[in-house]
Structure 1
């Protein structure tokens, strides 16, 4: 029988808080093979305590208590990398690649945490630099029919369908036309001309937004809700957590879901896990 590999991605908003609030209960039933984490904001000992028995790779931020990405897996990774872009790019704690051997094929899983950004500030400049570095790395990851998936909190709502209140966010980081243009190019048909949200024209890279392909043109399903007000209860959210797959891996998608908690009180993070099954 074909093997199904389950990959889940979640911004935990602090691994210690997530573990304290109930992450283990979700893991007990989720049956995940590869788990990518963003905004870990902790030390290795905190990951070990929250994920006993897992193989764990991590990349911590140079700023204590900030950012941090990790990949936990039931399979033993064969290689890992943390470099993205040049030395001037502040990518520490924001990009981690891991290779796994699955049924005789190499699968590369990436845990990515893109800067939130803020218009008119150095924070947005950091975000532009990070998106540029991704723009250069994605073709390399997809070369020669490779199986690769970039997962995590990419902090951009690609389309109007990805944000409940998109009209109110047109000039805010996370939904800027220039940010969305990167996604237009990444997800455009490989080698074809793509009209982008910022009015420019680019060349498609052929990557696949698994969630959008699986659900079609419907609102959401959202993956992040503000902690303020009634955003969660009203499902007034953003879809900013993704699994972007190379064409070769996208053909293997068997299922996709967002594990939204049943109630506000049951939330163990302000994001929801994005879970995808890949058939081998």
Structure 2
């Protein structure tokens, strides 16, 4: 099974890029972030023509996640409150969480808040969101121990996940509090699929549009696949496909594909 995650930075703007990529890389499931479109305007037909089932959780202009799957998914749900109804609805005002099951494997597609700037209200929301994510995962793990949690985490967990020229001290996406909040989530039994196969620095999934960052490989690895124990042991590869980032008017992120 191959599962890909890709922040496309607007599914309608990048529609041909995504469709062409799926034709060349017919993964079993594509987890998409930043669809930036309300559900009624999602371009279902483009993906249905490629034999993909579409599951969406959208929002106008911002956020939005989707699952594109070759097989129909089971137990599809959106948002935290679908699993934890006692939560404050504020955690689902932004559309960032969608999940479904394929071949007894639960796929969890996340778009973690960016946080904007260390210490601001959005940063505190991000830390709170990650705390809620941990509670949500505890509930999911009671039903299924095999989870592939993937998406745009907006966190580089280690310094080697960031280009050397970045000033990362107290920087958003690399602050100590963000990293610790993500580690608290991973301590539930998740491991980084990419690091199973690649130890060295210099591998990134996001490059700023500015300062010729992609040409200079000044990137951050913030798009991840985190796997529970059995899936991690079964994983045979995890790669970043930089090819779509070279296209005209690309997303600033590249797809990341895990196979097990």
Matched with 1:95 is 97
Alignment of 1:265-276 (within 5 A): 265-266=247-248, 268-276=250-258
Retained in 1: the 8 A contact 2:127–2:181? no
Q: Name the CA distance, whole Å, in 2 between partners of 1:249 and 1:255.
A: 12
Matched with 2:130 is 131
Matched with 1:115 is 113
Relative to structure 1, the CA distance from residue 111 to residue 166 in structure 2 (aligned partners, 3 Å threshold; closer, same or farther) is: farther
Q: Name the CA distance, whole Å, in 2 between partners of 1:54 and 1:261.
A: 22
Of 212, 215, 218, 1:233 maps to 215
**TM-score, normalised with respect to structure 1:** 0.83
- Confirm or deny that 1:211 pairs with 2:212: no
Deviation track 1:171-195 (CA, whole Å, cap 9, x = no partner) reads 12111101101233344xxxxxxxx
Matched with 1:78 is 74
Matched with 1:192 is none
**SS of alignment partner, residue 12 of structure 2:** helix
Alignment of 1:165-180 (within 5 A): 165=164, 168-180=167-179
Relative to structure 1, the CA distance from residue 271 to residue 50 in structure 2 (aligned partners, 3 Å threshold; closer, same or farther) is: farther
Q: Name the CA distance, whole Å, in 1 between partners of 2:160 and 2:211.
A: 22
Matched with 1:55 is 53
Retained in 2: the 8 A contact 1:16–1:50? no
Matched with 1:39 is 34
Relative to structure 1, the CA distance from residue 220 to residue 79 in structure 2 (aligned partners, 3 Å threshold; closer, same or farther) is: farther
- Confirm or deny that 1:12 pairs with 2:8: yes
Deviation of the 1:153 alpha carbon: 0.2
**SS of alignment partner, residue 169 of structure 1:** coil
CA RMSD of superposed structures (Å): 2.0
Deviation of the 1:112 alpha carbon: 0.2
Q: Name the CA distance, whole Å, in 1 between partners of 2:127 and 2:8.
A: 24
**TM-score, normalised with respect to structure 2:** 0.89
Deviation of the 1:88 alpha carbon: 4.1
Deviation of the 1:87 alpha carbon: 2.0
Relative to structure 1, the CA distance from residue 177 to residue 27 in structure 2 (aligned partners, 3 Å threshold; closer, same or farther) is: same
Deviation of the 1:163 alpha carbon: 0.8
Retained in 2: the 8 A contact 1:68–1:93? yes
Matched with 1:222 is 204
